[in-house]
Structure 1
């Protein structure tokens, strides 16, 4: 039996013999330059890229990730490390789930603290390709291995981790806020504006009003400071972040029932004057702020009991044709209906198709919280109008959402609401309630 020390080139040459390909045939089938392929296989040049290996694997009918465990010889030697080959290699390993190869590389290169830059580069490549979950592991490695707490690379890694770990799990989101918060002011200004906005959004979904106001205030201040600084390039025009800071301040006032103050913030961002002429991008942001402002003025009018404006508001929401605007608007309308005792069945019927799609908000923390709130208000509305069965169904829907999102205060409210009508629920609804609460059915058997 022939004993061979496996190597990348030996395996490729073995496949060539098996398939009967020569260099020129293989080059044509793989799309690799014949000269480059010949030099790579003959060891004249360590020039094989991971994309070329993938192309060869495809020709030979191999699964993605073929020979990746041997590719490290192209990237790492005792003398040096080849970053141009190693970064794309780590990216591809993450994409095809060759975690064993990542483990092997990490154990070899992180003995030298400088090599954490390679890990960070791979993380950034994955992040910008939209492979957020795959990037998470690499950012965690950066966080674990960078010792300088003021390192920009460390701050960006914390920012990315905060971004990629956001979801509808309230506990997880709050832990992410706590972890990232100390690093927000260590980011460069181009990142910091968006980071503050994301922090405000997550805290809004968690009903952390003090934190929302703090981050919104920082947004307003920082966007003003950065006005006119052409060297700073945030994701969007500074006027957007300024307006969003005011919007969140107003939203907090609205949720706390301080409607007069909320209205002042709305009028402020609807009619704001920027200290310099706005370009086309800035003008578009200003127009969007006006659209949101108009919707929020309707919201505040409705919440203060102006039921005569309901149909006009519904027309406006229908014209916007945006699901997130509809759920926000219906929350205001149905809350007002419950508070001031009037009927909005015709509005709910009008938006029935939209309401059926609220379940699509299962990945965004703010929109998921709005959906949860809608179900709670709708349950109260149904009960108030004598529709007990429908109210219980909405309560169970709300309870299920609250449990999934780990919004425990909302869960307790739903349980209290259900128990208030327990004597009138159906057997099926009681079974559903026990299921949502995780209660074993046999406990209730006589």
Structure 2
């Protein structure tokens, strides 16, 4: 037989009777008008979530103790659904992490179209505040599901927000998330598209999917040019409908820089040079405010660094001393170190002196952390790649003990971020030098491989549609 849960007002009455407290005394305790409290207890007045929280606190119960019953008694059984009453309750559920209650209420609202924009605005508010992201995700998912058959901008924006919220340390999950978002990019308005294309290109860059990086960077470049031309060369003054996260010209220059990175990574160094020139030559930029000048200086600096990289990766080893000299003056040098050791592996260079010179920075990077989710993702990826490349460099030089130590470290890190390609590369490199591994190293590798297999075996496989 199903247990019948007593109504809220019954529990309140029971509490007062058991503790010998009068309504007047309790109203003073919870700072609520005694007439209002009396009407609530007798069922003659509707109950707001603020009043409920005061009563719950006065009864010394957990703040969300009555929330399921509040949905049943004050929302479902209410003659009409009032947003002014529901909205504060949903915000409170977000604060307390009661996603189950949010889901329950949304299931009541989504059949009525008038609530969809209100729920979307609440999701936007939670997202912009940067708090209660799980609640924002729940809201976006439900709004997106209710509009899945529509080709609306709101649906596309929900998918963009979900893409941003779901990017994390799991690289396989990031790939799935990016692929799911791709079809919605073109449905965003032009301003949101610029940031979405930038974010997509950055995610694919962290996944080393260079064709995708190039594709979305070129789209960003073309869209940025169209918008810049509209703003500056139109016969009538054009104002952008939304505020961009960066000055408009930055998207054009950044697209060129990303294209250069993609071309260098794919071995097309001549094409990379063209894009680098495009990112550095910003004489066409019409603005001259301090923020613009700051960004122009940044791009000129980045172009100089990437020109070194371009020459180094194309086999011009003579640039290495200048590149190292430049690195010594930089605060963040890990990208440069990755390039140096990549060139060392590719062209059989001895870079021991460079690694020794920057050993403190290498250690600091390996131990660093960031509160920013996207920075954390990039740092983990860098750290895993560096350990792998350092292992390859050391093993090729016959330093087997240190090389295997780096390789096991790389395998563990790549498994942690679920980078399937890097995990596979680690296994392949181990097999190549397996004959030089000590018995304890073989045991460590076997145990780690089993852990990686067990971790991945628990994950459901998924299929991706290529776009």
TM category (shorter chain) comes to 0.7 to 0.9
416-425 vs 12-21, greater mean Cα deviation: 12-21
SS in 1 for 2:450: coil
Contact 2:205 2:213 in 1 (8 A): yes
**Separation (CA, whole Å) in 1 of partners of 2:285 and 2:430:** 54
Match in the other structure for 2:277? 267
**Separation (CA, whole Å) in 2 of partners of 1:124 and 1:172:** 24
TM-score by length of 1: 0.84
**Separation (CA, whole Å) in 2 of partners of 1:189 and 1:261:** 28
**What aligned pairs does 1:424-435 form with structure 2 within 5 A after superposition?**
424-435=436-447
389-398 vs 122-131, greater mean Cα deviation: 122-131
CA 253–106 in structure 1, closer or farther in 2 if over 3 Å, else same: same
Match in the other structure for 1:203? 204
**Separation (CA, whole Å) in 2 of partners of 1:312 and 1:388:** 31
> Shift in Å at residue 184 of structure 1?
0.6
Q: Which has the higher contact order (CA 8 A, sep 6+)?
A: 2
Deviations 1:315-363 (A, max 9, x none): 54354323xxx22111111122223333322322333333233365796
Match in the other structure for 1:339? 346
Superposed CA RMSD: 3.2
CA 230–409 in structure 1, closer or farther in 2 if over 3 Å, else same: closer
Match in the other structure for 1:63? 62
Deviations 1:49-98 (A, max 9, x none): x4554455445543232322243355565442222332332233233232
**Separation (CA, whole Å) in 1 of partners of 2:220 and 2:251:** 6
Choose the corresponding residue for 1:299, options 306, 309, 316: 309
CA 181–236 in structure 1, closer or farther in 2 if over 3 Å, else same: same
Contact 2:23 2:38 in 1 (8 A): no
Does residue 370 of structure 2 align to residue 358 of structure 1? Answer: no
238-247 vs 271-280, greater mean Cα deviation: 271-280
Does residue 202 of structure 2 align to residue 167 of structure 1? Answer: no
Choose the corresponding residue for 2:330, options 311, 317, 320: 320
CA 287–60 in structure 1, closer or farther in 2 if over 3 Å, else same: farther
CA 189–88 in structure 1, closer or farther in 2 if over 3 Å, else same: farther
**Separation (CA, whole Å) in 2 of partners of 1:84 and 1:287:** 50
Deviations 1:239-266 (A, max 9, x none): 2211221111011011012223222322
221-230 vs 74-83, greater mean Cα deviation: 74-83
Contact 2:99 2:138 in 1 (8 A): no
CA 274–133 in structure 1, closer or farther in 2 if over 3 Å, else same: farther
Contact 1:239 1:285 in 2 (8 A): no
**Separation (CA, whole Å) in 2 of partners of 1:20 and 1:312:** 82
**What aligned pairs does 1:400-439 form with structure 2 within 5 A after superposition?**
400-438=412-450
CA 350–185 in structure 1, closer or farther in 2 if over 3 Å, else same: same
**Separation (CA, whole Å) in 2 of partners of 1:19 and 1:309:** 86
Aligned residues: 429
**Separation (CA, whole Å) in 1 of partners of 2:227 and 2:25:** 58
Deviations 1:124-157 (A, max 9, x none): 2332232323322222212221144222221111
TM-score by length of 2: 0.80
Contact 1:243 1:289 in 2 (8 A): yes
Match in the other structure for 1:380? 392
CA 51–218 in structure 1, closer or farther in 2 if over 3 Å, else same: farther
Deviations 1:188-234 (A, max 9, x none): 22321111111111122223222221211111111222222333322
Contact 2:27 2:37 in 1 (8 A): no
Match in the other structure for 1:105? 105
139-148 vs 159-168, greater mean Cα deviation: 139-148
SS in 1 for 2:343: helix
**Separation (CA, whole Å) in 2 of partners of 1:13 and 1:128:** 41
